[in-house]
Chain A
């Protein structure tokens, strides 16, 4: 039995190694669910307690930009899947191409987010001593913006980490490190990216959409 170059010394075979990596990644994603769970709990408690303040706050967000970012992220999940698909078929150049697309979409998301943030800074809707509380009827609206920045901020941090991971993968792909039988790294980072994507799928309606018809 010859050893695959990617097989680590402490595993019996590539299958065991891949299964371990997959289970480890899913377990890690569960820790992420618990991490964001704390934020979502805080959101739920205060939304239930201060519905008017939440309504007031969500009307300040730009639905157009939020929807654009949602589309960008869903698109980036697609490009990740396509890169994995390319790896399964051994098409190295396509891996590189789809990874580049993913990184580009990730950066586009961050740019849109930065535009939204800078607008909030501009009009003084950032919690803290300079908060323009005169703009709002309810004092708890500041709490809404606190959670808005905490939740989207933590999400953005995860985006930055993800883009960094894909940059590393891009380097590996250019050195043709991924083969049809072994591309665990690509799949694991893909799982992570889908998770970050799903967090946004929850954030968008909770922060931007709920109650907008009122």
Chain B
């Protein structure tokens, strides 16, 4: 990076050039630097989790279990799920984009507790290292759900270390959630009322509520499994009168809301991106804001739909099925409002917008198939099949990963001060969209005709669809490597970004790219609502949208 030349020319150092050295990063309390630390860590975990997915898809290329034996296969899908969920999806948008953006969007200098913020990254890293140690020394085969009594009594794999790793990492999301809640309540700039907040902030706030309320329950649940396994306390042990179903209740009490931890922040990103690239105020601001809270609250009331076939009472099943339908309403509210925002907007198809539009389509499919699964009678037919796998990946990969990539591209100029190369980025977005659908749509069909999940071998008639899925996964894998390549490339050779390259609204676009360490020289005063895009406001270069020109930096303005 041309940091040295820039530093000499630019009037003020930004958060990256403010000071140097490994210590200035590992001991930083700057929310922006901590966001970058998270970005690096979760990217590592994303590619580790992805490697397990590659092995799974390779095994499933043929009906016979010829690449790995069944026990190894159990470990592969367990490690894939664990790493992707606890170490990528849960922290992805909150810990990277939320950390970076939330204080700036609120007009604050930092999060309320900067040292706790740094602590959360260390907690995450320690939890991650413990889990990786467990992975390297044999891995775990219980499925990411740790169902008892298998996890507590029978499994002979690294359950203990993995449980400890997940337990520790949980505290990092609790700390992040705490920080976001307090910051949103107490550190908004003058004039920034609740209903002037960007919808990204509402989404982060709702997510934080779930993190704070749900994660401790996961912690105690895992702790009880560990106590049972290590000390024979026997809370879930049927021999002593304990009930394994109680584990499922406690586990899903966290883990169902946790899927909203994984999708809500993505919905926040989509609101920002859609509004910017349709040049329109978000349609139904209040509805979108409150639907985030509604999802956070209702999300705690539907955990029993994971247990329709586990032996819970039929009446409980009926109630949970009904409540599952109810939680679909706020999600649908969001989708309809985004579409209404697009209506008569002046839409342009930059890369973030491509991902956002992809999100809307894929999330809709994922959400609607969630209704299928929440329907009691149908779920008895398709539970534990590839239909569930496909549904989950449509929401998590088609939804959350798309939203994450939309956000990373949208705010990349703000984070790094560099533009990503637009043409290849659009190409990658299309590759990812095609690869994703080819991977996971066949899995709906496989599940519907009865292919169970979590088996390493299958009858021959399922092979065609499995080959399609594996082919799609190869495309998807390459699709994810392309952004990895050009984003890193852009750090050195990307076009220097303006303060507001998208001419977007929001406080984060009023500070330089990259922002200075304390974000604002003076506390900003907010006088208008979010998304105050003018009706005829197309892309015209204004002063703010032009890249800054530093005479001594030869690379400025050089196109990629």
Contacts and interface: CB of A to CB of B under 8 A. Distances in A.
A16 B224 CA distance: 39
A118 interface: no
Interface in A15-46: 16, 19-20, 23-24, 27-28, 30-32, 34-39, 41-42, 45-46
Contact of B241 (A36, A143, A154): A143
B224 A127 contact: no
Contacts of B235: 42, 143, 146-147, 150
Given A34-B216, A140-B240, A41 B250 contact: yes
Contact of B220 (A10, A16, A38, A46): A38
Interface in B193-246: 212-217, 219-221, 223-224, 227, 231-235, 240-243, 246
Contacts, number: 117
Interface string B72-111: 0000000000000000000000000000000000001111
A27 B212 CA distance: 8
A128 interface: yes
B232 A20 contact: no
Given A32-B216, A143-B234, A150-B233, A38 B224 contact: yes
A30 B113 contact: no
A31 B240 contact: no
Kindly name the residue among A9, A19, A50, A146 whose own CB sees the greatest number of chain B CB atoms within 10 A.
A146
Interface in B170-187: 174, 178-179, 181-183, 185-187
Contacts of B523: 12
Kindly name the residue among A42, A140, A149 whose own CB sees the greatest number of chain B CB atoms within 10 A.
A42
Contacts of B186: 16, 19-20, 23
A23 B187 CA distance: 12
A129 interface: yes
Contacts of B227: 146, 150
A153 B550 CA distance: 62
Nearest to B109: A10
Contacts of A46: 241-243
A76 interface: no
Interface residues of A, number: 40
Kindly name the residue among A31, A35, A139, A142 whose own CB sees the greatest number of chain B CB atoms within 10 A.
A31
A139 B241 contact: yes
Given A23-B185, A27-B178, A10 B213 contact: no
A34 B233 contact: no
A169 interface: no
A147 B246 CA distance: 14
A129 B213 CA distance: 35
B114 A10 contact: yes
Contacts of A36: 220
Contact of B181 (A23, A41, A154): A23
B220 A35 contact: yes
Contacts of A41: 246, 249-250
A128 B232 contact: yes
Given A19-B186, A24-B182, A146-B234, A31 B518 contact: no
B112 interface: yes
A146 B214 contact: no
B220 A31 contact: no
Kindly name the residue among B111, B183, B221, B232 whose own CB sees the greatest number of chain A CB atoms within 10 A.
B232
Contact of A31 (B110, B216, B221): B216
Interface in B518-544: 518, 523
A156 interface: no
Contacts of B110: 9-10
Contact of A140 (B109, B111, B241): B241
B240 A45 contact: no
A146 to B, nearest CB: 4
Nearest to A16: B186
Interface string A50-88: 100100000000000000000000000000000000000
Contacts of B223: 154
Contacts of A127: 231-234, 240
A30 B243 CA distance: 27
A31 B234 contact: no
Contact of A139 (B181, B240, B243): B240
A42 B246 contact: yes
B112 A20 contact: yes
A39 B220 contact: yes
Contacts of B243: 45-46, 49
Contacts of A35: 216-217, 219-220
A53 B241 contact: yes
A12 B188 CA distance: 11
B178 to A, nearest CB: 5
Contacts of B221: 38
Interface in A120-152: 127-129, 139-140, 142-143, 146-147, 149-150
B232 A9 contact: no
A53 B234 CA distance: 15
Contacts of B250: 38, 41-42
A10 B223 CA distance: 37
A37 B224 CA distance: 13
B216 A150 contact: no
B241 A31 contact: no
B181 A10 contact: no
Contacts of A9: 109-110, 518
A45 B241 CA distance: 11
Given A34-B214, A35-B219, A146-B233, 7 more contacts: A20-B187, A23-B185, A27-B178, A34-B212, A50-B241, A128-B232, A150-B227
25 contacts: A10-B111, A10-B114, A19-B186, A20-B186, A23-B182, A24-B113, A27-B182, A28-B178, A31-B216, A34-B214, A35-B220, A37-B216, A38-B224, A41-B249, A42-B235, A46-B241, A127-B231, A128-B231, A128-B233, A140-B240, A142-B234, A143-B235, A149-B233, A150-B224, A150-B227
Interface of A: 8-12, 16, 19-20, 23-24, 27-28, 30-32, 34-39, 41-42, 45-46, 49-50, 53, 127-129, 139-140, 142-143, 146-147, 149-150, 154
Q: Across chains A and B, which 5 residue pairs bring their CB atoms closest together, nearest first? A: A38-B220, A140-B241, A35-B216, A128-B232, A10-B109
